Each structure stands twice: as C-alpha cells, then as structure tokens.
Amino acid sequence: MNFIKRGLLSITRKKGKALILLAVIFILGNVISGSISIQQATGNVEKNIKEKLGAAATVELDYKALENMDEEEQMSIEIADLDLELIKQIGEISYVKYYDYNMSTWLGSESLQSYQGEEMDDAGVEVVADGMSPDFMLKGINYAPVLDFEEGIGNLVEGRIFESQEVENGSSVAIISKKIAEKNDLQIGDNFTLTNSVMDYDETTGEEKVATSRDVVLEVIGLFEPASANVEQSEEDAEMLDFMDIDYQNTIYVPNEIISNESRYQSEEYMKIDEEYAEMVEAEGTDYSDIYTPIFVLKSPEDSVAFEEEVQPLLPELYKVTNAGDQYDSIAAPVESMSKLAGYVLIVAVSATVLIIGLVVLLFLRDRKHELGIYLSLGEQRARVVGQILIEVMVVAVIGITLSLFSGNFLAQGISNTLLNAEDTQMEDDMMYYSELQAYQNNITTDDVVESYEVRLDSSYILMFYLIGLLTILVSTIIPLVYIVRLNPKKIMM
Amino acid sequence: MILEAKDLNYFYQDGDRRRYVLKNTNVGFEKGKFYTILGQSGSGKTTLLSLLSALDSPHSGTVLFNEKDIKQIGYEKYRRNNVGIIFQSYNLIPSFTAVENVLVPMSITENEIPEDQKSVAYNLLDYIGIVKSKADRTVNKLSGGEQQRVAIARALATNVELILADEPTGNLDEEMEQEIIDIFKKLAHDHDKCVVVVTHSNEIAEQSDQTFTLQKGNLTAYE
C-alpha cells in the first residue's frame, strides 16, 4: 500500500472531512471560476470588437484638446498643417501595411446626372438643384490600387485601377460608380465633364451666383460598386445606409493632383472677386496649400498601441493619432468596469482560498498528527508523507473545481447580465467628433459590445480555471505541510 | 551482537545544569533472545528505547546495528528496514483495517516482501492470533489486546530481525499480557528474532532471557 493508495484510502475512509474540504473548495472555486469567466468574456469582447473596428489609423487634430482650451488660448494658437513629408515618414513605419493621403472637393456637372437613391430613380423623379449643385465628391488618391478597394469599402467591377504614373502626373482619369456610369450611359474609355464653379455671394440681395467656372474633363478608366450593398440591415439602419450609399455612389476617384489644381483655381479666382479676402490672405501670408487626410492601414489591430507610441512624438502640437480601435474605449465602459471588478474579485478570491484552504488543511493535519507520526516512525520518507496529503487534497480539489467549473460559469452569466444592465442605464453619451477614420471602421455601439459579450465554457477558460484553481490549492496545501516536515515522531509516539 | 549501544549519553538541559537520563551506557543484544529493560517511571528506559529505535539521537555515543553505526545507515532507513517498533498505545491508523495497518510498512520498507503482500499480512495476523474476519475490521473495532497483536504483526511485516517494544502490555489485563509475552518468546526462540521489551513489570522481566535495570542513568545487567 504505497502513499498514493494510502491517500486515496484516507479520502474514502474519512468521508466527512473530505466532504467539508470539497464544500470549501466548491464555494471558493465558484468565485474564482466566475471571475475568470467574466474576465475571459470581456477579453474576448475587446479582441472581437477591435478586430471588427479594423486596423486603420489616421493623424488628425485633437478637437477635444482644442475644446478644453480657454477662448484666449484658442485665438492665439497657430495650428500647423500636416506636412506631406511627415505623412510619408509615418507611412514607412514597420507597423503600416499600406497608406494613402487624400484630398477632396465637391464639383457639379451640367451633363452628368447624379445618383439620388433607388426610389427616386425608379419613380423617374429628378432632383433639380437651383443652378448647378455640387453633387459629386472628387476623392483624391495617392495610393494607385485605391485604399478603399483594398479595405473592402468598394470593389472595382470593371476597368482598371490607376497607374502610378497617372497618379504622379495628375492625369485626367477617374473611377466612377457603376450606377453613375449606367445612368449616364458611360463606358470605360468615355470622357465626362464636371464644372468647377466659383460662386459669388451678393450681400445685398443674399443671392449666390456663378462668378466664373471651368470644365474638368475626365476619362473613365474603371467602375466600382459599394461592397456593403448586399448586407441585410434593420429598417432604421437601412435608411442611414441608403443616405451613405448615395454619397458613395456619387464619389469619383481621381489622382490628388487634379483636386490640388481645382482647389488652387478656386482659391485664386475667389481672391479676384473678393478683395477683402485677398487682402487678408496677403496680410497673413497664408497662401493656398494642399490639405491631406492621411489613412494608415496597420498590419494588425494589435499594432495600434505601438504605432501610436511611435507616431505621437513626431506630430506637431494639437495633432493626435486616432486608431479605429479607439472607439472601443468609449463604447465599452460597461464591459471594462465589469472586467476590472472581476479582476479584483479574482485576487480577493485567490487570497481567501490560500488562507481558508491553508487553515482547513492545517486543522486536518493537526487532527491527523498521530497518523503522520506513525508513518514517520515506520521509516516513511517525509516527502512521501507530504505527497500523500497532497494527493488527498488535490483529488478532492479536482472534484470540487470540476463541479465549480460549470456552476461558476453559470453564475457568471447571471451576474454579468445584472451588472451589464445596471451599467447600461448609468451610461452617459460621450461627445462624438467626426473622424475621417469612420469610413474605415464598422460603426459599433455599446449595444453591439453588450451583445457580443458572451460567457462561454470554452477550452481556454477551462484550462485557465484548472490552472489557477489547482495552483491556488497547491500553494494553500504546501504552506501547512511545513508542519509535517517539523514533526518529531518520538514526541508523538512515546 | 545484532544491536549494541556504546557510551550513550542523553541529558536534558535545565538552565545551566544538565540532567543526565543516560550516562555512558553500554549494552548489547543478540539474536534469538528475549530481553527486558526494567526501570521505574522516569528512569529513562523509554529514552533508551527511542535511541535504540532511532526515533531520537544521543548527545554522544553510538548505536550499532550489526556492527554498523545507525547514523551511517540513516535513522529513517534503519527504521524502515531493520527494526520493528511496538508502542504501549499501539499507534495503529484508526481509519484502516487490521490488515491495511500491516500492509503499510510493507510498502515503506526496501526489504524483500513476497508479491502477494495481502496474503502475507493475513498469515502474519493469523499467526499472532487475529483471524481473517477480524483482520478486515477497522482497528478501532478491536479490543486492546487485539490491537496490540495487530501492532506486533505490523512490526514483523517487514521481516526484520530486531523487535523493540515500549511497555507493550501496559494497557492490557494479566491474561492478555501473558499471551503477548508468549508471542515475544516464540519470536525470539522459534524465529531467531532479537526482542527487547521495556517494562516496569517484574513478572515480564522474570520470563525474559536477560534483564537490564536502569536506575539514575546507569544500566545494570542481570541474567
């Protein structure tokens, strides 16, 4: 009968004590299991949501910091433009998969009909603007394969993407939506004309009229379709998406250089018709300059923190890095606070377990002092006596932990629901700022976060719980086992 | 000599003073003999037995087993392989049956034990007077005499040549005492064991092959 058999025999012969130990381990195991379940679930939410939010990042003005300044500071501060060289320098950082910097402007057209939504088009009703409304958004690109296509915002369905030379030279080529092409009977290789109008506002009559204009002729080289066109949505979301879809269908991709030229033309022509404006520009020495919006697509959403740490020191004052995953921090408050709470509970539960199991084992050992003395008097090695006690405790622990694995997980579900509901009602809406990044991230709300929160009985949770649970009980047992090492068989037996 | 004590000294420190329990004690024991160590309560006979059984170590002097210092053998190893100890209060594991108690030292010793340990344990118990039906009972359901028989069987389980007993009949009535003494005599004379019994009973001492008397730390031999 070796020490392992003796240990197992002791459990079956001393059922009462084994049951007491089992009950203690089961109760404490439930607390540990519940905490781990909640932590795992919140961890999964963060990972999933950040993956859904994507790996895009941009550099933009820190509007919150600006808002926090007093009026005097706001007036005196000089905000520098984002330098193109800096954008290129950031784009070369190892975390960046690819990047682009965009310019944009709105132009109208006399010959090109814009898209106004399916219902409008089906009804045959045309929205006729007073004069010529700037219906088309020209989106300048520098990344020839088009970042929006690479990121799945749109898909090229016909024709080709830009060539590097076209981008560099600012060639008059464009990629338009398939809907615009169909509506205007445009084919690949056809030309279409947009009009760059400079408007003059008459202060006395309050009327706005075209002061001067020029034509912008572009050749169609490719057709795109929005990628999200087939996704099923709720009625409310569908309305919002329709609105965004109209905007996107009227987007025309062109090289940045074209937009730069047209913006410069507008600025120069406007100075001719508005002397006051021209004097002000001259006085301040603020000549026209291109303003770019950079978008950096990172290799992984997990790189966002490292990317931000590397980029922030390079930026001018009042600029900041915005990651697509940043939205998580503002919407995941209920989950985050629950994760924190679960962390504290876990630390307290593990400490309590070490203390309580340690005391229970010590009491049991004192009760069995005589038996342990017998083993030692028979010449049993102390290590094996320690081993026997460890086996007795660990066998009961495995049963207790296995039981609490399921019940703790079940309890965690109930507690999570209660906590999430309570947190949800306490949530205050944070001030939201528009970011260029929004086009590159899925719109996720607190409800999405709460919905994606799920307490599961998966392998990582089971492994983690067994590891923490058994390790805690092992530590709680080893401490009182010092008692055995110090036992003197003579004093016990004689 | 199977067991020898040479110049054993053992004392208790009482402030600056040393109170000697054993002073330059020399004694030897042979196989095939039944010895008793006689002495009054507090005379140090249990201390002597604890030194001979390696449950304690002397302040000076040596205990030799087959002419080898038990310190060199290792106290734990010596207890495991060379000596069977019987206590006044039996010291059995109360939650185990009689046969399980006998099986415990068999798993601890490094001595060669037949493979079918359970049969050996039942045979040993039967030899000592515990039938199979009683051998399967937990020991707290046995009488004092029966429990001491189980303790003797446990001491014999590792097939040792040396049996040391501390007041083995102290908790038993006269009839049972004689039965136990008879077993010791049989073990010494029929099975060539060396049996050393510590007792304060002259009746037991009279039945032994040799008696030592311990008084004021000095051991005197009587034939």
Q: Tens digit of pLDDT for each residue in A185-219?
A: 999 999 999 999 888 877 777 777 888 889 999 99
Give the closest-approach CA distance of B124 to chain A in angstroms: 16
- Does the pLDDT at position A240 exceed 70? no
List CB contacts (< 8 A) between B117 and chain A: 1
Q: How confident is the model at residue A233 (pLDDT cuts 50, 70, 90)?
A: low
Interface of A with B (CB under 8 A): 1-3, 5-6, 9-10, 13-14, 370-371, 373-375, 377-381, 489-490, 493-494
Which burial class, exposed, middle or buried, applies to B16 when counting CB atoms under 10 A from its CB (0-12, 13-18, 19+)?
exposed
Provide the strand spans (E) within chain B. Answer: 3-14, 17-29, 34-38, 60-65, 68-69, 83-86, 162-166, 194-199, 210-215, 218-222
With an 8 Å Cβ cutoff, are A379 and B81 in contact?
A: yes
Residues A223, A341: one domain?
Answer: no
- The complex's ipTM works out to 0.90
Residue of A nearest to B108 (CA): A380
Q: How many domains in chain A?
A: 2
Report the residue from A5, A13, A377 with minimal CB separation from B95: A13
Query: Residue B88: closest CA among chain A residues belongs to which residue?
Result: A494
Residue B136, chain A, CB below 8 Å: the answer is: no
State whether A375 and B80 contact (CB < 8 Å): no
A10, A392, A494: best mutation site toward chain B, by most B Cβ within 10 Å?
Answer: A494
| Closest residue to A494, CB basis, from B87, B93, B106 | B87
Predicted confidence (pLDDT) per residue in A422-471, tens digit: 655 554 444 444 556 666 666 666 677 777 777 777 888 889 889 988 99
* Domain termination residue (choose one: A306, A325, A344): A325
| DSSP 8-class letter at B139 | G
**CA–CA separation, A55 vs A60, rounded Å?**
16
Residues A46 and A143 reside in one and the same domain? no
pLDDT the model gives residue A430: 47
Q: For residue A129, what pLDDT is reported?
A: 43
Q: A238 and A125: one domain?
A: yes
pLDDT digits (tens, 9 = 90+) for A139-198: 999 999 998 898 888 899 999 999 999 999 999 999 999 999 999 999 999 999 999 988
Please give the residue that has the higher pLDDT: either B96 or A323.
B96
- For residues A80 and A159, membership in a common domain is answered with yes
Range of the domain at A36: 3-51+332-493
Give the pLDDT of residue A124: 47
Domain co-membership, A351 together with A373: yes
Q: Between the CA of residue A423 and those of A9, A53, A404, what are the distances in Å? A: 50, 23, 27
Ranges of each domain in chain B: 83-160
**Residue B29 vs residues A15, B188, B198: alpha-carbon distances, Å:** 46, 12, 13
Is pLDDT of A300 > 70? yes
B55: which chain A residues are within 8 Å (Cβ-Cβ)?
377, 489-490, 493-494
Does residue A284 sit in the same domain as residue A376?
A: no
pLDDT at A480 over 90: no
pLDDT below 70 — which residues of chain B? 222-223
Closest residue of B to A379, CA-based? B80
* The predicted structure's pLDDT at residue A127: 46
**Same domain as A273, residue A383:** no
What is chain A's length? Answer: 494
pLDDT tens track for A68-107 = 888 887 777 777 778 889 999 999 999 999 999 988 899 9
B58–chain A Cβ distance below 8 A for any pair? no
In whole angstroms, what is the distance from residue B166 CA to residue B182 CA? 16
- The partner residue sitting opposite A489, judged by closest CB among B55, B103, B108, is B55
Q: What is the mean pLDDT of chain A?
A: 83
Q: Are residues A433 and A303 in the same domain?
A: no
Show which of A325, A353, A377 is a domain's final residue: A325
